[in-house]
Amino acid sequence: MGSNGLWLTEWLSEAVSLAPGMRVLDLGCGTAVSSILLAKEFGPRVWAADLWISPSDNWDCLGESGLEESVMPLRAEAHELPFADGCPPPTHLRPRPRRSPKPKPAREAVCVL
């Protein structure tokens, strides 16, 4: 969906130090390919959040990749995420325009928490 998410994820990984034990929110992940890449290459725990793609479909892809323990798919609307008061803000964002049934384009972000 949209731009080449793998290329953008690799580009982001050059600017961000990712390591096992870190937590990453891949917001607007689409089919979770970027989430799978992050987990496989760098070892963080990744939450693959998308509004339009079913978490069940992404879960099936994760089963094929063997990353069920590293990537958690979920359906989420970015404006309605229940972050706690005082939660530190995301430190890195990766914009990615994507086709959307809504009039304004959706955005993708990888948040390293």
pLDDT digits (tens, 9 = 90+) for 54-112: 999 999 988 888 899 999 999 998 778 887 787 766 555 555 555 444 444 444 455 55
CATH number assigned to the domain comprising residue 18: 3.40.50.150
How many distinct structural domains can be found in the chain? 1
* Strand residue runs (E) in the chain: 23-27, 45-50, 71-75, 109-112
What's the number of CA atoms in the CB half-sphere (13 Å) around residue 21? Answer: 2
Range of the domain at 60: 5-79+87-112
pLDDT in tens, 21-70: 898 999 888 999 999 999 999 999 999 999 999 999 999 988 888 899 99
| DSSP character at residue 68 | T
